[in-house]
């Protein structure tokens, strides 16, 4: 079904746009690796090498368009998994505002790159080989910052079941969320400054372009949660949708500036995990 959909409705024109977003976000990750004082120079060098070694696949393989190859492949299978072909317009739309595209697919790209440097990813080098390429002092500094995230998310209660989020179980995803959204926002700001339309807005809404970035991200997680949903969520390696918004945005000083959140408020706490 995926092949049939792509053959009929696949949009190759978006490839260049998505590649540009990937490049923009990679550049921000490079800065985020180079600038921190708590990572030693040798570890920074190897982290940049790993970042540059990443490969990206943003369109289907050519074999996907060959019906005879597809028929041969599925002829060996005993099942068929059918997914709704909605993601092309849900995650990226060519005519969307940059704030929307960077807030949705930009955030997703940033999140996946972020796993390269999460609690597990830091133990794999540029060749995908597991070894201790981070120096001990930098590892300790990383662990201290990771513990901040563990405690922050672990202090959030899921009201449907009156239980706290498991900050350790969700750590890797929370690290990827935090670094990915920060990189996507920074990439968007660069894009905004270089754009002739740096005051982009949505019709009938008073939000400015920076606010629309955050809203586009948060809107992705809008849902109605049942008790059964929460029982599943608490066992998941991802934090529940509510805390992927509240927990994450409360760490972003840029968010609190863009929405003018008072210092010490829920969305602009004095202590932020970085």
Annotated domain spans of the chain: 1-259
> What local confidence, expressed as pLDDT, does residue 72 receive?
54
> What local confidence, expressed as pLDDT, does residue 12 receive?
67
pLDDT, one tens digit per residue, over 63-107 is 556 656 555 544 444 443 434 343 455 677 777 889 999 999 999
- Could you please report the per-residue DSSP string of 220-266? TT-----HHHHHHHTTSSSPPHHHHHHHHHTT-HHHHHHTTPPTTBT
Residue 180 pLDDT exceeds 90: yes
Rounded distance between C-alpha atoms, residue 99 and residue 9, angstroms? 25
> What local confidence, expressed as pLDDT, does residue 15 receive?
76
> What local confidence, expressed as pLDDT, does residue 66 receive?
61
In this prediction, residue 199 has a pLDDT band, given cuts at 50, 70 and 90, of low
Who wins on pLDDT, 274 or 60? Answer: 274
What pTM was estimated for this model as a whole? 0.86
Q: Which CATH architecture has domain 1-259?
A: 3-Layer(aba) Sandwich (3.40)
Residues with a catalytic annotation lie at 112, 177
> Tokens for 82?
């059918």
pLDDT, one tens digit per residue, over 75-84 is 444 443 434 3
Among 25-34, 66-75, 167-176, 227-236, the range scoring the smallest mean pLDDT is: 66-75
The 3-state DSSP class for residue 163 equals strand
């Amino acid at each position: 079904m995926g092949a049939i959909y792509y053959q009929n409705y696949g949009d190759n024109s978006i490839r260049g746009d998505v590649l540009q977003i990937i490049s923009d976000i990679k550049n921000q990750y490079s800065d985020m690796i180079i600038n921190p004082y708590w990572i030693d120079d040798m570890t920074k060098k190897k982290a940049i090498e790993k970042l540059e070694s990443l490969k990206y696949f943003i369109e289907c393989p050519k074999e996907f368009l060959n019906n005879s190859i597809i028929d041969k492949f599925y002829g060996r299978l005993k099942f068929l998994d059918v997914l709704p072909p909605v993601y092309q317009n849900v995650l990226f739309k060519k005519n969307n505002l940059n704030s929307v595209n960077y807030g949705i697919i930009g955030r997703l790209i940033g999140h996946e790159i972020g796993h390269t440097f999460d609690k597990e990813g830091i133990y794999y080098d540029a060749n995908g080989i597991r070894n201790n390429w981070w120096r001990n002092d930098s590892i300790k500094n990383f662990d201290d910052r990771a513990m901040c995230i563990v405690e922050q998310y672990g202090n959030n209660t899921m009201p449907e079941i009156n239980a706290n989020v498991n900050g350790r179980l969700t750590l890797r995803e929370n690290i990827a969320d935090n670094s990915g959204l920060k990189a996507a926002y920074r990439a968007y700001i660069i894009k905004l400054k270089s754009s002739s339309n740096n005051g982009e807005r949505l019709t009938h809404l008073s939000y400015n372009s920076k606010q629309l970035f955050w809203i586009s991200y948060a809107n992705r997680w809008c849902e109605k949660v049942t008790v059964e949903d929460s029982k599943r969520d608490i066992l998941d390696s991802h934090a529940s949708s509510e805390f992927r918004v509240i927990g994450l945005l409360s760490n972003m000083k840029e968010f609190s500036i863009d929405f003018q959140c008072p210092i010490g408020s829920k969305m602009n706490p004095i202590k932020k995990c970085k």
